[in-house]
Amino acid sequence: MNTKRVQRFVAVAVMVMVVSTAFVSLGLVNNQGINLSFSGSIFNILSGKGNNNVKPSSTAPTYVLLVHGYDLSGHGESHVWTSGVNVYNQLVSAGYIVGVVTYYGNFSIAFSNGATYQNSSFSATINTPIENISLVLGNAIESIFNGMNVNLDIVAHSMGGLITEYMLEHFQFSNINLKNVIYIATPFDGSPLAALSNYLLIQSGYQADQMVKGSNFLTSLRNNESSAFTYYSNTNWIVYSGNHDPWWGYMIFSGNNDGVVSDNSATYINYTYSYTFNAVHSSSVATYTTSGISYFQDQNVANTILSNLNGTYN
C-alpha cells in the first residue's frame, strides 16, 4: 500500500470516528392508552390557576425547559445540561424552576424541585420521527400546565431545537407566556454529517435522515415556521451558533461551523437575536480538536443564556 493510499485510509478512518462521535452528541404517537404519571407534588411547581386568557404577572415564577439533542446510542443526552460549566445548576441558582426533558427511553420531565412528569407509554429511539417526540412534548406541557398561567422559557440543543420548533408550530399554548426560545446549534438547514453518516454506512437512524439538508421534515419545518411566530408573537427567538471550525470543517463545510452544524444552518430560521461563540458542538466532538471547547464547557455561553432569560440581549 503506497503512502497516498495510507493517508487516505487514515483520513477516512478518522472521519468515521468523528462522524460517529458527532452523532452521539448531535442534540406515530398514539393518543390511546397513554399512561401519564406525576411524582412529587406537581402543584408545587405551578401557580396562578385561572382563566387561560390571563397572562401571568411579572412576579410569577418562570419555568425553564431544557431539551437535549440527538444521541446515536439512544440512551439520552440530558446529562449535557449538568456537564461542563453546569448550565442546569446556574439556572437553578438564578431562581428558575428547571425541567430537564428526556425522550430516549421513557419520556419524562424532571423538575429541579423534585417533581417529575412521566409518560411510560412513549419511548423514543433514533428511529422515532422527530415530529412524534414533538407531539409528546407538546401534550406533556399541556398536561403539566393545564389551567395554569405561567411564564416559560425553552433552551434546546441541536436536534432538541428541531423538536421544539415543530412543537411550537403545532401547539398554541394559550395559558403560557412563552418569553424566550433559545436554539443552540440547531441544524435548521441540516448537517452534512447526517448525509456523511449514510455514505460511511453508519447506522444513525431515521432521525439522522431527517437532518439531511433538503429532507421532507426540514422543508416542512421551514414552510410552517410562520405558525410559531403567529402563535407566539411576543416571544424572543434566539439562535446560538459556533465558529470554531475544527480541522475537518474545511472538508465538509463552506463557512463557519462548530464541527457538526454550520452557522448558516443554525441561523436558517427567522430569529430576533443571534450569537456566535468560538465553540464546537459538544464535549465529545471537542476531544478531536486541539483547543476546542463545547457550548456546555464555555461560561460565556452560560452567561449569555442567563442574560437572555433575564431580558438582556446585548
Burial, 112: exposed, middle or buried (Cβ in 10 Å; 0-12, 13-18, 19+)? middle
Q: Are 55 and 149 in contact (CB under 8 A)?
A: yes
Rounded CA separation 221/166 (Å) = 6
The verdict on residue 32 lying in a domain is yes
The verdict on residue 314 lying in a domain is no
If the chain, 314 residues long, is cut into consecutive pieces of 10 residues, what is the mean pLDDT of each piece? 39 44 41 38 35 45 94 78 97 97 95 95 95 98 90 97 98 94 98 83 85 97 97 97 91 92 97 97 87 94 98 94
The verdict on residue 118 lying in a domain is yes
Residue 40: which domain range?
Answer: 3-309
Q: How far is CA 290 from CA 179, 248, 258, 286, in A?
A: 38, 12, 14, 8
The verdict on residue 249 lying in a domain is yes
Rounded CA separation 236/155 (Å) = 12
How many domains in the chain?
1
* Predicted pLDDT of residue 18: 47
Rounded CA separation 50/175 (Å) = 9
The verdict on residue 58 lying in a domain is yes
The verdict on residue 292 lying in a domain is yes
Q: What is the CATH number of the domain that holds 232?
A: 3.40.50.1820
* Predicted pLDDT of residue 204: 86
The verdict on residue 202 lying in a domain is yes
